[in-house]
Amino acid sequence: MPSPSRIHILEPHVAERIAAGEVVERPAAVVKELIENALDANASAISVEIEHGGLAMIRVSDDGTGIRREEAPIAFRRFATSKITTVEDLERVRTLGFRGEALAAIAAVSQVTMVTRTHEELEGTRIVASDGQVTTEPAASPVGCSVTVTNLYHNAPPRRKFLKSPLRESELCRNTVIRYALAFPHVAFRLRIDGRETLVAPQGTPLERLTVCLGREAADEMIPIRWEAADLRVWGFISRPTVGRSHRQSQYFYVNNRPIRAGLLTVALERAYERHLPPGRHPMAVIFIEVDPAYVDVNVHPTKAEVRFMHERSAYWAVSQAVTEALKPFPQARTDEFMRWPFDEIPAEMPSDTSHTNLREVGVGYHAGSPMRAIGQLHNSYILAQSPEGLVIIDPHAAHEAILFERLLRGEPREEISPAFRLPITQREAETLSKYLDVLANLGIEIEPFGKGTLVVRALPKSLSHVPLANLAAALVEEISSRSWSDTGSLQEALAARAACTAAIKAGDLLSLDQMQKLIDDLATYWSPAVCPHGRPAFITLSMEELERRFLR
Ligand code: ADP
Ligand code: MG
């Protein structure tokens, strides 16, 4: 038997490198931390320079308070901060930083030169931090602080390997600058990438800032939102439902001006657009939530990219109210109108990267579009999934049925059946079906007479293409014969429900994790009422509160 390895405390430089990995996972994270520091120092102008994707150089200069010479070296130590002192302070953090980690983390994986001066000092200070050494010397400096980071990840080759191309990393840095610029319109921002000025945002109003950051065309499509309760305020801008993007990269959420990834809030936003935008299209949004800092825990994520709301549902509710209210003047589309949308032109929802701007990384690990993550299947039947609220238990048959039902009604690509397939049904059944060929055609089921008492299937919607045709035909005949139909609308829905039921996964079907996740993502896209067309619920949620209560915690 091999003996266990000895347990020992890591050398500080190893521990620091590990901690640094979390805080500064890529150049854009360095940019984020330095901008946060500048904003916390009350800067009124911030300039950012990036070279070669940030690997050659990142410089963030501000005209904020600066750091006193005697305090400068301490700033580079881990847990060195001027922003909080006590544990209680954590509950009322108003600054963007508070952990005292960033400068130490950045210095652990690069060479940092800081030039700074406070307004009380006559002479500034240059601090160079590299390989655990910090040196300080007098230097000329305007009031404020300028931090230059070079040789990023020179001592962390594995980290370099995980980076994207310099072009892509620059783009991520740019997104980061925009993310903060949108929230601080009273602070001027400049961004230079490889010597080229790519953003010049003078101090201005929120709307002016929106125009500079997202472009005039996008800004022209935005409408304001506002919703206020006693202790919660939501405001910002969302896009008119006449425009929809194929990605979610133009959705920005902030809590008390802190940019956050917000799976649940994205759901609140997009649900309000449900009858406005066709599936696969996403609104643009810049949404600010203001709430008493005591009601949000900002200390739950290594890069502070997520926050936890004490009353998560209120935040969800407030966003959905604000958006719904603003969309009221716009007519809703009927489900069948979505049929006219050119589906083939909608690119698959596949963000090219897992940067902090998209949903895939949000908290519970979404992979494209839903705030839920499949974790397993119970007795080959119920799917268990993690959601921001807690545990979701999904009935796969009911869920799949609901998805197929919506897809059939909304219209979807058809598959030709070639050669046309003769339906194995009796003459009587053929007569029954024949009366409703137009209703079936509306659902994408193209059936034609072929000689006396014979019907052939020429095309089927994609969702039904795997169903044995005899079963499908029998189910449709049975549905039609079940009662007399006065209006074609309800017959069409009944046939869609019946066809969906026939094609849906059955209880007992073993699913792979990927299949489960696909089902969950589709459910988030297509589901509107929480029921399958037969009125049974498609899923139930056990909230964390409920679980905690039942475990007597
Ligand atoms: P944190 O922001 O969590 O406090 P940092 O490591 O980012 O930790 O910074 C450490 C300290 O250095 C800050 O608390 C602040 O006092 C000081 N500091 C950092 N950057 C600046 C800056 N641009 N201007 C003024 N002070 C700064
Ligand atoms: Mg900081």
Report the DSSP pairing between strands 382-386 and 390-394.
antiparallel
363 vs 492, higher pLDDT: 492
Tell me the percentage of the chain whose pLDDT exceeds 70: 91
Ligand 1 centroid, distance to 145 Cα (angstroms)? 10
Report the helix count and the strand count for the chain, using DSSP H and E: 17, 22
> What average pLDDT score do residues 294-308 get?
79
Ligand closest to Cα of 47 equals 1
Please provide the average confidence, as pLDDT, over all residues in the chain.
84
> What average pLDDT score do residues 327-348 get?
46
> At residue 350, does pLDDT exceed 60?
no
Ligand 1 neighbour 47 (Cβ under 6 A): no
Residue 347 — very low, low, confident or very high, per pLDDT cuts 50/70/90?
Answer: very low
- Give the separation between CA 258 and CA 39, rounded to whole angstroms: 11
Ligand 2 centroid, distance to 95 Cα (angstroms)? 9
Cross-sheet strand order for the sheet of 232-239: 222-229, 232-239, 285-291, 251-255, 258-260
Which pLDDT score, from 0 to 100, does residue 533 have?
66
Which pLDDT score, from 0 to 100, does residue 322 have?
92
Residue having the nearest C-alpha atom to atom 25 of ligand 1: 66
- Give the separation between CA 256 and CA 177, rounded to whole angstroms: 17
> At residue 10, does pLDDT exceed 50?
yes
> At residue 341, does pLDDT exceed 50?
no
Ligand 2 centroid, distance to 534 Cα (angstroms)? 54
Helix (H) or strand (E) holding 34: helix 27-40
Ligand 1 neighbour 112 (Cβ under 6 A): no
Which pLDDT score, from 0 to 100, does residue 509 have?
80
> At residue 405, does pLDDT exceed 70?
yes
> What average pLDDT score do residues 1-17 get?
78
Mutate to test the pocket of ligand 1, among 22, 23, 40 (most ligand atoms within 8 A of CB): 40
Residue 143, CB half-sphere, CA atoms under 13 Å: how many?
12
Which pLDDT score, from 0 to 100, does residue 336 have?
35
> What average pLDDT score do residues 172-198 get?
96
pTM above 0.85, yes or no: no
> What average pLDDT score do residues 343-356 get?
28
> What average pLDDT score do residues 129-153 get?
94
Instruction: Give the model confidence (pLDDT) of 78-100 as tens digits.
Output: 888 888 888 888 878 888 988 88
Instruction: Give the model confidence (pLDDT) of 483-533 as tens digits.
Output: 888 788 889 989 999 999 999 988 778 888 888 898 998 887 776 655 566
- Tokens 């009322």 appear where? 92
Residue 364 — very low, low, confident or very high, per pLDDT cuts 50/70/90?
Answer: very low
Which pLDDT score, from 0 to 100, does residue 333 have?
57
Least confident range from 159-173, 223-237, 517-531: namely: 517-531
Which pLDDT score, from 0 to 100, does residue 280 have?
77
Which pLDDT score, from 0 to 100, does residue 126 have?
97
Ligand 1 centroid, distance to 147 Cα (angstroms)? 11
261 vs 254, higher pLDDT: 254
Report the 10 Å Cβ neighbour count for 6.
Answer: 5
Tell me the percentage of the chain whose pLDDT exceeds 90: 43
Which pLDDT score, from 0 to 100, does residue 328 have?
87
Phi, psi values for residue 387, rounded to 5°: -125, 170
Ligand 1 neighbour 75 (Cβ under 6 A): yes
Ligand 1 neighbour 90 (Cβ under 6 A): no
Ligand 2 centroid, distance to 97 Cα (angstroms)? 4
Ligand 1 neighbour 24 (Cβ under 6 A): no
Helices (H), 82-226: 102-108, 157-161, 166-183, 206-214, 216-220
Residue 370 — very low, low, confident or very high, per pLDDT cuts 50/70/90?
Answer: low
Which pLDDT score, from 0 to 100, does residue 368 have?
40
- Treating both helix axes as pointing N-terminal to C-terminal, what angle do 166-183 and 206-214 enclose, rounded to 10 degrees? 170
Ligand 1 neighbour 66 (Cβ under 6 A): yes
Ligand 2 centroid, distance to 35 Cα (angstroms)? 8
Report the 10 Å Cβ neighbour count for 552.
Answer: 5
Ligand 1 neighbour 80 (Cβ under 6 A): yes
Give the atom of ligand 1 at the shortest distance from the alpha carbon of 105. 6
Ligand 2 centroid, distance to 184 Cα (angstroms)? 17
> At residue 313, does pLDDT exceed 80?
no
Nearest-5° Cα angle at 256, 251 to 258: 55
Instruction: Give the model confidence (pLDDT) of 452-474 as tens digits.
Output: 788 999 999 998 988 888 889 88
Least confident range from 9-23, 120-134, 347-361, 404-418: namely: 347-361
Give the atom of ligand 1 at the shortest distance from the alpha carbon of 99. 3
- Give the separation between CA 306 and CA 292, rounded to whole angstroms: 16
Exposed/middle/buried for residue 369 (C-beta within 10 Å: 0-12, 13-18, 19+): buried
> At residue 268, does pLDDT exceed 70?
yes
Which DSSP symbol is given to 3? P
| Secondary structure class of 120 (helix, strand, coil) | coil
Nearest-5° Cα angle at 436, 433 to 439: 130
Ligand closest to Cα of 65 equals 1
